[in-house]
Amino acid sequence: MAARNSLTPQQGLGFFGLLILLCSAVLGKSQMCEVETGQTNIILDIEESRESFIGQPTTPPELPIFGDPDTEIALNLVFPKGQPIFQLNGKKLQLLQPLDRDEENLSHIVFQVSCTTRSTGKKRTIPIIVRVSDINDNAPRFMNTPYEVTVPESTPVGTTIFRNIQALDKDAGVNGLVEYFIAEGSPNSTNVEKYSADGYGTFAISFPHQGQVTVAKTLDFEKIQTYYLTIVASDRARNTADRLSSTTTLTVNIADSNDLDPSFIYSGCVSLDGACINPEYSASVPAGSLLGVLTVLPERIQAVDLDTINSPIRYSFASGMPGNYADYFQIDESTGVLKADESCGHFDGEEV
C-alpha cells in the first residue's frame, strides 16, 4: 500500500496564508506609481491666492498615487513649459508663489510628476492638471467716469435718461457679474449748493443688470436744478456677505422748460413763489382829458416769465365790460402800456 503525503488543517492554512502574502507583495509592487483612481492623469483643484498667501491646499490634498514616497517610490515634478509653480512635500503640492487667476487669466496649470519604483527602478510620467478656482477678491470698477447728463424738467416719469453706466469685475463666474442700484446719499455729500439735492428716490434703476437710469418723480427746475446720484456696482457672489462693491456719482442737471405762465408783479402785492396772487390794476380818465397813455395804479402793468429761458411776453386784453371796451382802449402787446384809443374822441362823463 503506497504512502500518501497529507497536510494537517493547520499546515494548510499556513500554506494559503503564505500564498496570499506572496500574491499581495507581487500585486503591491505592480501597483507602485499607478494612479489610485485608475485614470491616466491626475486632476486637482486649488483656490487662487488671497493677496500673497500661498498655503492653500489642493483638493484632494495629496497626489492619488500608489506607494509610500519615503520608502517605496520617488516623486519629482516636471514643468516643461515654464518655471516651477509647486513643490512636493511627500505627496502634497505646495505653492512656491501666489496664484492670481484674474490678472494672469490662469484657469488651470498643466505639468507632470515623474514616479520611480525604488525596488525595480521602473519609472513612469503622469500628467497633472490643477484647476484654479476663483475667489471673490476684486470689486467692480466703473468705466469712463465721471458721469453727467442734462435733461429737461419736462421729461416724463419713466423716461430713461442715462445708459452709459458700466463697471467691470475681473473675477470669474457669479463673482464677475455686476448689478447696479442707486443708494441714498450721505447728508454731507448733498445740498452743497443751492437748488441741489440727493437723487435717491427721484431717479431709479429698474433693471439692476443693465444700469439704465430712469425718472421716478416729476422734475421741477424752479425747485431743484442739480441732482447727485450715488451709483453702486456690486458683484453677485453667492454668499451675500462676500460681495464687493464700488460707488460713483452721476450728476443730473435739470434744464428749464417753458412750463410756467407769466406772472404780473408789482410792489406791495400778496405774492407766492415770486408771483402776485390775484393782481389788480386801475386807471382813470377824467372828462376832457387828452387821449394817450393812461396812468395805471399801483404801478405800470408788468409781467415776468418765471421760467429762466425768458420767453418773450405778449400783453393783450382777455375780456372786459362793457362789451365794446376794445373800442376805447388798447394795450401795447410788447410793453403792456395802456392807452385810450385816439379814434374814440373825447370821453363823456366824469370818469371811465
Domain with CATH 2.60.40.60 in the chain: 33-133, 141-255
Q: Which of 82-91, 168-177, 274-283 has the lowest mean pLDDT?
A: 274-283
Q: What is the mean pLDDT of residues 31-59?
A: 95
Mean pLDDT of the residues in the chain: 83
What is the predicted pLDDT for the residue at 351? 38
Q: What is the mean pLDDT of residues 127-142?
A: 95
Please determine, for residue 260, whether its predicted confidence score (pLDDT) is greater than 50. Answer: yes
SS (H, E, C) the chain: CCCCCCCCHHHHHHHHHHHHHHHHHHHHHHHCCCECCCCCCEEEEEECCCCCCCCCCCECCCCCECCCCCCCEEEEEECCCCCCCEEEECCEEEECCCCCCCCCCCCEEEEEEEEEECCCCCEEEEEEEEEEECCCCCCCEECCCCEEEEEECCCCCCCEEECCCCEECCCCHHHHCEEEEEECCCCCCCCCCCCEEECECCEEECCCCCCCEEECCCCCCCCCCEEEEEEEEEECCCCHHHCCEEEEEEEEEEECCCCCCEEECCCCCCEECCEECCCCCEECCCCCCCCCECCEECCCCCEEECCCCCCCCCCCCCCCCCCCHHHCEEECCCCCCEEECHHHCCCCCCCC
What is the predicted pLDDT for the residue at 18? 42
Q: What is the mean pLDDT of residues 15-21?
A: 44
Tell me: the pLDDT tens digits for 317-330? 777 777 777 777 78
Highest-confidence segment of 234-238, 271-275, 290-294: 234-238
Tell me: the pLDDT tens digits for 142-155? 999 999 999 999 99
What is the predicted pLDDT for the residue at 5? 52
Please determine, for residue 132, whether its predicted confidence score (pLDDT) is greater than 60. Answer: yes
Question: Candidates 2.60.40.60, 3.90.1150.10, 3.40.50.300, 3.40.640.10; correct CATH number of 33-133?
Answer: 2.60.40.60
CATH architecture of 141-255: Sandwich (2.60)
Query: CATH code for 258-352?
Result: 2.60.40
Higher-confidence position of 343 and 284:
284
